[in-house]
Amino acid sequence: MNNIIQQNLSQIQHNIATYCQQANRQPNAVTLLAVSKTKPVQAILTAYQSGQHAFGENYVQEGVEKIQYCQQQGIKLEWHFIGPLQSNKTKLVAEHFDWIQTLSRNKIADRLNAQRPSHLPPLNVLIQINISDEQSKSGIQPNELMALAKHIEKLPHLRLRGIMAIPENTTDQTEQISVFNQMQTLFQQLQQQCPNQQIDTLSMGMSADMESAIKCGSTMVRIGTAIFGQR
Ligand SMILES: *Cc1c(COP(=O)(O)O)cnc(C)c1O
């Protein structure tokens, strides 16, 4: 079990480096986020022992328990909240996580800003874009991005870092590339519109579409199954 996680991680790191090279990008241009939702904290510790530092969790309560356990062990990790967030759970995210990747509403932004403890650095924020325009998916429409970005920019306990998307599931590489290219264009527009922010994170690419995402400028891939196995 431990061995498998370590092997998977080094295989993925190798793949990331290969895809970066093919796209003429530096091998360290893409951060690997290990998505550990529903997996035991032991699996996280195993990944940590093979050098993995950034972890993504979808469920607030489960994530907070793992964060607290790791802190008690004296292990400092970087925690990303990547699930849908309801307003009654914002306080736990503000108090425990380092990043939220799924921000899509002014009201949630205001609550996170008010609830972020002042002894912590600002909460890093990605705005989620519903790039495939799916009814079932959360996130804002591309034409709503600048208004939300300008709102977040004014909140001192949040730090806008970029955008994320979960595109429609497809194995068609042409389709993947088309959607990821739209994300890259939006990302560049955001950088131009918010020159005083450190807009450096384009979070896209999962186990099945990582290669296309890296080709299109992803700076963070979110991988669960290919590291920890089926859920
Ligand atoms: C679960 C999840 C992932 C990881 O998906 P895998 O298919 O297991 O690699 C990535 N991003 C988000 C937002 C997720 O919820």
pLDDT the model gives residue 135? 75
Q: Nearest to residue 63, comparing CAs of 98, 110, 103? A: 98
Give me the mean pLDDT over the 190-201 stretch.
97
Asked which of 120-129, 132-141, 165-174, 200-209 is least confident by mean pLDDT, the reply is 132-141
Specify the ligand 1 atom closest to the Cα of 166: 13
Kindly give the distance from the C-alpha atom of residue 35 to the centroid of ligand 1, in angstroms, as a whole number. 6
Q: How far apart are alpha carbons 172 and 5 in whole angstroms?
A: 28
Kindly give the distance from the C-alpha atom of residue 59 to the centroid of ligand 1, in angstroms, as a whole number. 12
Q: How far apart are alpha carbons 205 and 124 in whole angstroms?
A: 19
HSE, side-chain direction, 13 A CA sphere, residue 85: 31
pLDDT the model gives residue 133? 83
Specify the ligand 1 atom closest to the Cα of 101: 13
Question: Which residues does residue 163 pair with via DSSP β-bridges, in sequence order?
Answer: 127, 202
Substitution candidate for ligand 1 out of 206, 221, 223 with most atoms within 8 A of CB: 206
Average pLDDT value over all residues in the chain: 96
Most confident of 2-6, 24-28, 67-71: 67-71
Substitution candidate for ligand 1 out of 15, 82, 176, 201 with most atoms within 8 A of CB: 82
The pTM (predicted TM-score) of the whole model is 0.97
Kindly give the distance from the C-alpha atom of residue 39 to the centroid of ligand 1, in angstroms, as a whole number. 12
pLDDT the model gives residue 2? 67
Residue 1 has pLDDT above 60, yes or no: no
